[in-house]
Structure 1
Amino acid sequence: MAQEYPAGEARPRRRGRKLFIGLVVLLLLVAGLLVVADRVAVGVAERAIADRVSQEVTKQNAQAAAPDVEVHGVPFLTQVLDGRYERISIHLRDVQASVEGDAVRLPVLDVDARNVRASLDTLRSGQGDVVADTVNGTGTISYDSLAALLNRPGLTLGEQGGKLAVTAPVDILGAKLTVRGTADVTVADNGAVALRVNNLDAEGLPNLPVARALLNSYAKGISIDIPLPDLPFQLAVRKVQPMPDGLTVTADAKNVPINSAS
C-alpha cells in the first residue's frame, strides 16, 4: 500500500517551486531589458560620435558621406560609466579633399581608434573632446585623382605586379608613341607620395640617343613627390602600396581627438 502524506505537505513545495520559476523569469526579463538598454545606448553613442566626426571632416575643408560608426566592447554601459572605450571603428566613404586646386578622392577611408576616452557628459551634451590613444587608418586613393595631380594629358595609372603601372601618350621626334613602364612609390619625409618612374619604354621608339634622352626626360618629369591632402584625425601617412582599385594609404596617429570641441 502506497504511503500517504497529509494533503498540506505538498502545497508548500509547489508554492516554493512556483516562486522559484517566477524569480527566474523576472531575472531573465531584467537581463533582457539591460541588454536592450545596452544596445540602445550604443546606438545613441554611435550617432553622437558620427555627428562629431562629420564636423571634424568639414573643419579640414574635406567632404565625405555620412560616417558609419561602430563602438565595440560588451557590455557598453560599463564603458560609458568608465568613460573609456576599447575600440571605435569609423568608416568614411567618398572622401574628397583639395591639393593645390585638384581634388583627391578616397573612395574608402577606414579608421580604427583604440582606447578612446569620452566622458558621459561629452556624449550627452556634445561638448568636450573624444580622444583616442591610437588611431590607425587605411584608405585608397583613386588612380584618376592621382594622375590628375601629375598634370600630364593622357596619363593613366594602375597596378602591375605590385608596382605602379604608367601609360601615357608622348610625341618624340614627331612620332606619336605610347610609353609604358612602372614606378616605385614610397612615403617622402614630408608625408607626400614619392613617385619614381623606372623601366619606361615605348614601342617604335627611334633607335637614337636623342629619342632615349627625351623618353628619360619624360620619366624624370613625372618622378616627383605628390602632396596628399590632410587626412582626418591628424593621421600621418606611413606606407603606400599600389593595389588594383587604387593606391592604398596606411596612416596612424597617437593621442589625438576624434573630434574637437565646438
Structure 2
Amino acid sequence: MAEVYETAPRRRRGRGLLIFVVILLLLLLGGAFVADRWGKGFAEGVIADKVAEQVRAQRATSDTPEVTIEGFPFVTQVLDGRYQEIHIQVPNLTAPIENDRKIALPVLDIHAKDVRASLDTLRSGAGDVVVGAVTANGTIDYPQLVALLGQKGVQLSEKDGKLIGAVRVTALGQQVDLSGTAKLTVVENAIQVRFADVKATNLPDLPLIQNIVDAQARRMALDIPAPKLPMQLKVQSVTATPAGLNVTFGADEVNLNAGGL
C-alpha cells in the first residue's frame, strides 16, 4: 500500500511539469507572434512615410498610403534584409501632368517586389530602401478624358475592350452623329489616343461627308502626358475598361529613400 501512495504524487508532479512547459512555450510563441506583428506594423509605417514623401516631392497629393508587407513570418525577412513583396495603395491621388493640368486616380495600386532594406535603415530612416521591380495600376475615368480632350458633347465608353468615341456635330445644315474606335498607344511615357474608322451613322458614305468626319476625328486626337508619380513610375500600357482607361505603370531599381524621385 505504501508504494501506491508514493507513486501517485510523482505522476501528478510529472504532469504538472509538462503543463508548465507547454504554457511557457505558448507564452514564448505568443510573445514572438506579437513582436513579429508589431515589427511588421512598424516597417509598414516606415514604407508608407517614404511613399508619402515621394508623392509630395512630385507636387502631387493623396491620402495616407496603405502598406502591407506580404509573407510570414516577418522577422525572417527583417534578418535577411529582403522582402519578397510589398503591396502599397495610394488612395485619392492627384498628380500633375503639364500646363497646370492634373490627373486624378481613385487609387494607385502598387506591387513592389524584391525590396532590400536593412534593419538599421528601417529603424533610423537613413540608408537605402531599394525596390527591384515595381508595377502599378490606376484608372483615369472618362469624364477626365473628355475634359482633357476639350471637345464639347463627346461621349467616351468601352466596348469589347476598346475605347469608343461618339459625338454629334452640325454638317450640311443638319445634326450628324459620329462614332469610332480609338487606338491607344504609349509613346515616350505618354498615352496617345487616335480615333479611326469614324463613321457618320445618319448620312451616306460620300467623299464630302467623309472629309467632315475625318476633320472631326483629328479634333478628337488626344495626347495625355504621364502623371508625375512616386517611385519613378512610367507608363507601360493602357487598356479601355468600363470605368475608364486602366493604365499600367512600372519601374526597376527604385530607391525609396531618394526623396527627389
TM-score by length of 2: 0.91
Q: Larger deviation: 134-143 or 12-21?
A: 12-21
Amino acid at match of 2:135: N
Verify: 1:134 aligned to 2:157, yes or no.
no
- The one-letter amino acid of 2:149's match is L
Query: Which residue type is aligned with residue 210 of structure 2?
Result: R
Query: Percent same amino acid among aligned pairs?
Result: 44
SS at match of 1:65: coil
Equivalent residue for 2:171?
A: 172
Query: Residue 208 of structure 1: CA displacement?
Result: 4.8
Partner of 1:250: 248
Alpha-carbon separation, structure 2, partners of 1:254 and 1:135: 6
- Give, as a single letter, the amino acid of the residue that structure 1 aligns with 2:20: G
| Structure 1 consecutive aligned stretches of length 4 or more whose deviation exceeds 6 Å | none
Aligned match of 2:118: 119
CA contact (8 A) 1:56 1:232 kept: yes
| AA matched with 1:254 | D
In the alignment, structure 1 segments of 5+ residues that lack a partner are none
Q: RMSD of the alignment, in Å?
A: 2.0
Q: Secondary structure at the match of 2:256?
A: strand
Query: Residue 205 of structure 1: CA displacement?
Result: 3.4
Q: Which moved more, 1:112-121 or 1:224-233?
A: 224-233
Quick one: distance in 2 between partners of 1:123 and 1:174? 69
User: Alignment length, in residue pairs?
Assistant: 259
Cα distance in 2, alignment partners of residues 38 and 207 from structure 1: 70
Aligned mates of 1:109, 1:73 — CA distance in 2: 22
What corresponds to 1:56 in structure 2? 54
Q: What is the CA–CA distance in structure 1 between the aligned matches of 2:206 and 2:84, rounded to whole Å? A: 64
Q: Give the drift of 1:53.
A: 0.8
SS of the aligned residue for 1:5 comes to: helix
Find the counterpart in structure 1 of residue 156 from structure 2. 157
Change (3 A) 1:144 1:81: same
Q: Which residue of 1 aligns with 2:36?
A: 38
State the 1:173 CA deviation: 3.2
Q: 1:232 aligns with which of 223, 230, 237?
A: 230
Distance 1:246 1:182 in 2: 15
From 63, 86, 89, the equivalent of 2:87 is 89
Q: Report what 2:27 is aligned to.
A: 29
